[in-house]
């Protein structure tokens, strides 16, 4: 930073999802917290149904702000992070709504927006990994921060009203998977770090950057978003009883020997399925895909977190 920039008070951009109930309060709160901490009045930008934060984050970068704060749920965070990744400009998070899986994994206070706002302004920059997904050999990669799913979890998510997602949480998807058994097992080939491939008949495969769900359940035991590795969970239950094995696997934090759930980890993963399957990134259903390549971009995103 040069001297003339140093002499000006720092300024944050706040990208708000106005559909979240608490959004109306965020502007006033953010203005107060900025002023109390010696920051300039923030630049407020709202997401729209068509643009969940991408162009807003680009505008924030163009205005040379010191931190870009996503005030919304995991979808808003993902869109903003995709623009900030690799730029050296940090992401702050004010969690709104009730999902907020990245914020939970970061240990941010998800029930106190003012505390989250202070942390976004005054916290330290922490580098975390992001995962880049290439879907069906497309030219553009899509970034996610928490998890991507191909198969049953994405299918259930696509069917699930936001209300259920917000109130019951991600475990509702597993429960719905057990009850609804959408689709059939599909033949899939999985290759980790361009090595030996394994063939599965699976119902779904989920890739995680970090491990925690709501309610303290760890989907990927021991997964960290700063270890340069992605984690894969292959769900291949045999019949209805097999879903009980899946649940047992989830609740045993990876200690279950049940073959219904298998874990892999590495820096890259390639997944191809014989027939297109629903897929989701950080809980947003994004259609169907039959081929995914997943690559860790280690430490690419700076997030603001209270100093330790």
- In the complex, the residues that contact Mg ion under the rule CB under 5 A are 224, 227, 229
HSE-CB at 101 with a 13 A cutoff on CA atoms is 28
Distance between CA atoms of 126 and 79, rounded to whole angstroms?
19
CB closer to Mg ion, 136 vs 218? 218
Two tokens at 160? Answer: 């699930």
Distance between CA atoms of 173 and 169, rounded to whole angstroms?
8
Minimum gap (Å) between residue 17 Cβ and Mg ion: 27
Minimum gap (Å) between residue 87 Cβ and Mg ion: 21
Distance between CA atoms of 153 and 190, rounded to whole angstroms?
18
CB closer to Mg ion, 66 vs 231? 231
Minimum gap (Å) between residue 177 Cβ and Mg ion: 24
Would you give the distance in Å from CA 211 to the centre of its chain? Answer: 11
Distance between CA atoms of 52 and 247, rounded to whole angstroms?
33
CB closer to Mg ion, 105 vs 277? 105
User: Which helix (DSSP H) or strand (DSSP E) does residue 42 occupy?
Assistant: none
Minimum gap (Å) between residue 208 Cβ and Mg ion: 7
Q: At what angle do helices 239-251 and 171-180 cross, to 10 degrees?
A: 170
Minimum gap (Å) between residue 292 Cβ and Mg ion: 17
Report how far apart, in Å, the C-alpha atoms of 233 and of each of 11, 147, 215, 261, 285 are: 41, 10, 19, 7, 18
Two tokens at 66? Answer: 């010191």
CB closer to Mg ion, 227 vs 288? 227
Contact 192, 271 (CB under 8 A): no
Among 82, 42, 4, 68, smallest CA distance to 282 is for 82
CB closer to Mg ion, 159 vs 297? 297
CB closer to Mg ion, 102 vs 278? 102
Minimum gap (Å) between residue 169 Cβ and Mg ion: 22
Residue 102 three-state SS: helix
Minimum gap (Å) between residue 130 Cβ and Mg ion: 10
CB closer to Mg ion, 130 vs 271? 130
CB closer to Mg ion, 15 vs 300? 300
Minimum gap (Å) between residue 254 Cβ and Mg ion: 14
Among 196, 211, 208, 183, smallest CA distance to 273 is for 183
- Which conformational region is residue 120 in: left (phi greater than 0), alpha (psi within -120 to 50 degrees), or beta? alpha
């Amino acid at each position: 930073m040069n001297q003339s920039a140093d002499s000006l008070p720092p300024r944050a951009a706040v990208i708000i999802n106005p559909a979240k109930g608490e959004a109306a309060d965020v502007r006033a709160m953010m203005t107060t917290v900025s002023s109390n901490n010696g920051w300039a009045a923030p630049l407020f930008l709202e997401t729209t149904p068509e643009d969940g934060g991408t162009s807003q984050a680009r505008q924030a970068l163009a205005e040379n702000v010191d931190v870009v704060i996503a005030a919304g749920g995991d979808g808003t965070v993902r869109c903003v992070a995709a623009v900030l990744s690799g730029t050296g400009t940090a992401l702050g998070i004010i969690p709104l709504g009730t999902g907020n899986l990245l914020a939970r994994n970061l240990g941010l206070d998800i029930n106190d927006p003012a505390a989250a706002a202070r942390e976004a302004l005054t916290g330290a920059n922490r580098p975390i990994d992001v995962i880049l997904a290439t879907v069906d050999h497309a030219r553009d990669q899509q970034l996610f921060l928490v998890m991507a799913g191909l198969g049953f979890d994405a299918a259930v998510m696509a069917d699930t009203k936001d209300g259920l997602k917000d109130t019951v949480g991600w475990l509702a998807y597993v429960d719905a998977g057990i009850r609804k058994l959408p689709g059939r097992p599909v033949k899939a080939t999985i290759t980790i770090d361009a090595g030996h491939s394994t063939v599965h008949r699976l119902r779904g495969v989920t890739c995680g950057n970090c491990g925690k769900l709501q309610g303290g359940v760890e989907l990927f035991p021991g997964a960290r978003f700063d270890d340069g590795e992605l984690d894969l969970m292959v769900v291949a239950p045999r019949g209805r009883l097999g879903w009980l094995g899946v649940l047992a696997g989830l609740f045993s934090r990876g200690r279950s020997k049940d073959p219904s759930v298998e874990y892999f980890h590495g820096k890259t993963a390639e997944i191809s399925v014989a027939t297109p399957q629903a897929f989701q990134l950080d809980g947003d259903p994004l259609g169907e895909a039959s081929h995914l390549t997943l690559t860790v971009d280690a430490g690419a995103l700076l997030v603001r977190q209270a100093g330790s």
